[in-house]
């Protein structure tokens, strides 16, 4: 059965926000540390040794990929570790569904909350880009709805893994087999066009590839040439993964 959506997800989202607010600063810094190190270390370090890529300095090329990578990172960690803690360890989800809320409401609230956190991480990276003088046009503001949609896609994928996972250790398989390869072949650090043909074919079906494909022209003050195919792929990932996460979570909590 397809997810049943209602506004009852709001208390779930708000509960997560209130808990997060107590540790907001270390939470944001934790999500930012990895992508920021990549952008500053590689951007200024390796970037000083490289020629421009597509007519732009390497650090500006890398910045667009870092925004999308940070979005993926934040949504994934929230949908995996934090959501699993609430579902399996703390039994928060089981307590919530004893109120007049359903599993669908809980998963919807978690999905939107993970995406909200990813938007905060993306905005923080954009702020750093502005401080470094890497923002060249108001077109970069269109990255905000893009990272929101990307966050929904990655959060949905993470919730699917959470619904299937027996323990925290299981998440290492997801990071090793999905997240890390996606980061390496989707164009975060170098043009994906330089990869062998079969790897490019794999990259074409990955959501991070399409997020970067839309973000990079916006950072470079141009309009992406093909907007709708990439938007539709991201939307498809978001909707399908969320629906699957609801179905799998129902089976886990209600069996």
pLDDT score at 84: 95
pLDDT at 172: 94
Phi-psi region of 71 (alpha: psi -120 to 50; beta: other; left: phi over 0): alpha
Confidence (pLDDT) at 32: 67
The pLDDT value given to residue 34: 67
Q: What is the pLDDT of residue 125?
A: 85
pLDDT value, residue 158: 97
Within a domain: 236 = yes
What is the predicted pLDDT for the residue at 137? 85
DSSP output for 45-100: IGGGGS--BTTB-HHHHHHHHHHHHHHHHHHHHIIIIIHHIIIIIS-HHHHHTTSS
Answer yes or no: is 92 within a domain.
Answer: yes
Token look-up 């949504």 returns 75
pTM: 0.92
Q: Is position 2 within any domain?
A: no
**Residue 145 covered by a domain:** yes
* Segment-wise mean pLDDT, segments of 10 residues, the chain, 255 residues: 88 93 75 70 72 80 88 93 93 90 95 94 84 84 94 97 94 94 90 86 94 92 90 97 96 85
In angstroms, the Cα distances linking 155 to 71, 160, 213 are: 10, 9, 19
pLDDT at position 194: 81
Q: For residue 47, what are the contacts with CB-CB under 8 A and spacing of at least 6?
A: 57, 58, 59, 62
- 175 inside domain: yes
Is 3 within the bounds of a domain? no
In a domain, 100, yes or no: yes
Q: Which domain holds residue 206?
A: 9-254
Residue 156 lies in a domain: yes
Report the domain count for the chain: 1
């Amino acid at each position: 059965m397809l997810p049943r959506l209602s506004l009852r997800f709001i208390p779930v989202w708000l509960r997560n926000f209130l808990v997060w607010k107590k540790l907001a600063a270390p939470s944001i810094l934790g999500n930012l540390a990895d992508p920021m190190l990549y952008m500053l270390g590689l951007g200024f370090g390796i970037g000083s040794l490289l020629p421009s890529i597509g007519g732009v300095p390497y650090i500006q090329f890398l910045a667009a990929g870092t925004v999308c990578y940070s979005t993926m990172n934040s949504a994934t960690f929230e949908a995996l570790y934090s959501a699993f803690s609430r579902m399996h360890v703390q039994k928060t989800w089981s307590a919530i569904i004893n109120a007049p809320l359903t599993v669908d409401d809980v998963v919807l609230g978690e999905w939107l909350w993970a995406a909200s956190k990813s938007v905060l991480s993306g905005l923080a990276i954009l702020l750093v880009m502005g401080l470094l003088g890497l923002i060249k046009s108001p077109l970069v503001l269109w990255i905000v709805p893009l990272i929101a949609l990307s966050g929904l896609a990655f959060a949905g994928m993470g919730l699917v893994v959470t619904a299937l996972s027996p323990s925290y250790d299981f998440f290492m398989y997801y990071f090793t087999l999905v997240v890390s390869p996606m980061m390496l072949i989707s164009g975060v650090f170098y043009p994906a066009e330089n990869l062998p043909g079969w790897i490019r074919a794999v990259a074409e079906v990955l959501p991070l590839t399409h997020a970067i494909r839309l973000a990079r022209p916006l950072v470079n003050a141009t309009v992406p040439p093909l907007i709708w195919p990439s938007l539709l792929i991201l939307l498809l990932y978001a909707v399908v993964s969320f629906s699957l996460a609801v179905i799998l979570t129902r089976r886990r909590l209600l069996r």
